[in-house]
């Protein structure tokens, strides 16, 4: 119900206001009285409300007729006793105004409202004070929700299984317990003031992660996996999700860090198994052919010469048939090891299957090839000792050249295979493609 001041009520209000000393005109007072969002009401010496503006009813639901002449209004909470009310009235009677304070008042429908209240002592004739109530229920509710959200977020952060770090202006300003654990620190102050970049190995100095943490580009980046150097000297692999957020008008970086060392190990193992021969440790056929294509493309730009060596062990089947596959496997492992010892770091070995291997020599010429192949033959012919047995075997090698013989990987491999076939006619020999046997 809305209190409408008109007729006698309006005159009474104007007369009341007219008795107060103030600069605004009575018409201006009336505008304020009628249109303010705050409840304004006038108290008599005995504490009864003798006048109230429309906002009073809007906020509390009580009309002036409901409460007029009641010395103990019904909108007080149960814990605000008549003795408390009398103490408040005595302060006003003594001329002491009561400044703004937060309290609660009961709406006519039973709803409890959060109120910002103030009382201004008047003590003129029968008028004790003018009171003002501001409804702050929504504001208080918002504040409670924010506090609840903050407390929930703080709890989530504190107990999160992920490390959470906040960095501002190049310095870490917050870490949760898991962040201490993952970096290997004992207390917050061991980390506060440092930068996350102090603990991460990043080879690319222009990476998005570096630019973000230097606050050169405040944009969200994709999750990245980096090696983290812990304070105890150990290294782990971590996944970093870094997000720029606005906090109190300032852009900060919130980073979520997860230890992915085990995951990365298994991923690396799976990658290795997919690209390498599990027995000898050299790359498998598909990986070798992919890399051969790349090296050919590079050679087209650099004008380098490549040599593809097709190699197999002479009479390997006899070893398997007479000594068993276990001995044969061990022989292949030692054979691959000797091949690795006879090539350069930039060269590559691949196993095609059985006892057949490929070697790619980069940036080579025939003189160097001859030197390498002769060294291999000498090394390969030395006895192998396996399970106490001495095994003597030789190898045959076919050689095809890029770009002299072919410019595609398929043809280059086919020509190397043809050269190997010719070399095996004599065994323990090597043969260039399209030349007489050596």
Let me know: does 242 contact 207? Beta carbons within 8 Å: no
- Which DSSP state fits 197? G
Closest to 363 in 3D by CA, of 413, 306, 308 = 306
pLDDT at 204: 62
Could you give the CA distance from residue 235 to residue 324 in angstroms, rounded to a whole number?
44
Number of neighbouring beta carbons within 10 Å of residue 15: 10
Q: 364-411 pLDDT, tens per residue?
A: 888 899 999 999 988 998 999 998 889 989 999 999 999 999 999 999
Angle of the 409-423 helix axis to the 285-302 helix axis, nearest 10? 110
Could you give the CA distance from residue 328 to residue 321 in angstroms, rounded to a whole number?
9
Let me know: does 394 contact 380? Beta carbons within 8 Å: yes
- Which residues 6+ apart lie within 8 Å of 6 measured at CB? none
Q: 188-245 pLDDT, tens per residue?
A: 899 999 999 899 887 765 678 888 888 767 777 788 888 999 999 899 999 998 888 8
> 384 has which bridge partners?
391
Strands 98-106 and 112-124: what pairing? Answer: antiparallel
pLDDT higher than 60, residue 1: no
Q: How confident is the model over 351-363, as a mean pLDDT?
A: 93
pLDDT at 253: 86
**Measured CA angle at 70 (ends 67, 76), to 5 deg:** 75
What Å distances lie between residue 193 and 243, 252, 276, CA to CA?
19, 14, 45
Q: What is the DSSP string of 6-62?
A: -THHHHHHHHHHHTS--SS-HHHHHHHHHH-SSEEEEEETTS-EEEE-HHHHHHH--
Closest to 423 in 3D by CA, of 364, 356, 365 = 356
Could you give the CA distance from residue 362 to residue 216 in angstroms, rounded to a whole number?
41
Residue 11 pLDDT class (50, 70, 90 cuts)? low
Number of neighbouring beta carbons within 10 Å of residue 339: 22
Let me know: does 423 contact 430? Beta carbons within 8 Å: yes
Beta-strand ranges (E) seen in 125-203 are 127-135, 163-168, 171-175, 200-201
Residue 435 pLDDT class (50, 70, 90 cuts)? low
pLDDT higher than 50, residue 6: no
The residue length of the chain stands at 438
Q: How confident is the model over 331-360, as a mean pLDDT?
A: 93
Average pLDDT, the chain: 86
Q: How confident is the model over 267-287, as a mean pLDDT?
A: 91
pLDDT at 16: 54
pLDDT at 23: 65
- Which residues 6+ apart lie within 8 Å of 239 measured at CB? 223, 224, 225, 257, 258, 260
Residue 39 pLDDT class (50, 70, 90 cuts)? very high
Q: How many CA within 13 A on the CB side of residue 194? A: 15
pLDDT at 294: 94
Number of neighbouring beta carbons within 10 Å of residue 192: 13
Would you say the C-alpha torsion 353, 356, 358, 359 has a positive or negative sign? Answer: positive
Q: What is the DSSP string of 115-134?
A: EEEEEEEEEETTEEEEEEEE
Let me know: does 41 contact 51? Beta carbons within 8 Å: yes
pLDDT at 366: 87
Angle of the 325-341 helix axis to the 366-380 helix axis, nearest 10? 140
pTM of this prediction exceeds 0.75 = no
pLDDT higher than 80, residue 256: yes
């Amino acid at each position: 119900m809305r209190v409408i001041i008109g007729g006698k009520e309006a005159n009474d209000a104007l007369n009341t206001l007219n008795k107060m000393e103030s600069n605004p005109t009575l018409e201006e007072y009336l505008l304020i009285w009628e249109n303010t969002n705050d409840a304004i009401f006038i108290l008599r010496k005995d504490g009864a409300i003798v006048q109230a503006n429309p906002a009073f009813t809007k906020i509390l639901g009580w009309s002036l007729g409901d409460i007029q002449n009641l010395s103990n209004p019904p909108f007080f909470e149960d814990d605000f006793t008549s003795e408390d009310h009398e103490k408040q009235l005595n302060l006003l009677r003594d001329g002491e105004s009561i400044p703004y304070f937060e309290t609660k008042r009961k709406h006519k429908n039973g709803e409890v409202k959060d109120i910002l209240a103030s009382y201004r002592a008047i003590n003129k004739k029968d008028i004790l004070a003018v009171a003002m109530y501001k409804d702050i229920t929504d504001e208080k509710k918002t504040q409670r929700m924010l506090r609840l959200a903050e407390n929930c977020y703080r709890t989530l952060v504190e107990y999160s299984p992920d490390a959470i770090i906040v960095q501002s202006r190049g310095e870490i300003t917050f870490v949760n317990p898991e962040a201490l654990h993952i970096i290997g620190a004992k207390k917050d102050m061991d980390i506060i003031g440092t930068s996350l970049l102090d603990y991460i190995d990043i080879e690319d100095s222009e990476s998005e992660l570096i630019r973000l943490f230097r606050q050169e580009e405040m944009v969200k980046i994709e999750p990245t996996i980096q090696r983290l150097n812990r304070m105890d000297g150990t290294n782990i692999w971590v996944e970093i999700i870094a997000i720029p957020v606005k906090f109190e008008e300032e852009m900060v970086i919130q980073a979520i860090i997860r230890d992915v060392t085990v995951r990365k190990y298994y991923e690396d193992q799976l990658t290795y198994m997919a690209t390498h021969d599990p027995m000898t440790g050299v790359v498998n056929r598909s990986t070798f052919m992919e890399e051969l294509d790349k090296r050919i493309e590079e050679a087209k730009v650099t004008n380098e010469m490549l040599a593809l060596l097709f190699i197999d062990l002479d009479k390997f089947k006899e070893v398997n048939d007479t000594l068993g596959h276990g001995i044969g496997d061990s022989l292949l492992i030692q054979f691959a090891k000797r091949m690795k010892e006879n090539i350069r770091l930039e060269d590559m070995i691949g196993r095609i299957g059985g006892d057949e291997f490929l070697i790619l020599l980069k940036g080579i010429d025939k003189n160097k090839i001859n030197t390498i192949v002769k060294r291999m033959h000498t090394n390969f012919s030395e006895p192998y000792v396996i399970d106490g047995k001495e095994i003597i075997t030789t190898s045959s090698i076919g050689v095809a050249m890029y770009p002299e013989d072919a410019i595609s990987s398929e043809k280059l491999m086919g020509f190397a295979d043809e050269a190997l076939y010719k070399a095996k006619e004599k065994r323990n020999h090597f043969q260039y493609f399209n030349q007489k046997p050596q």
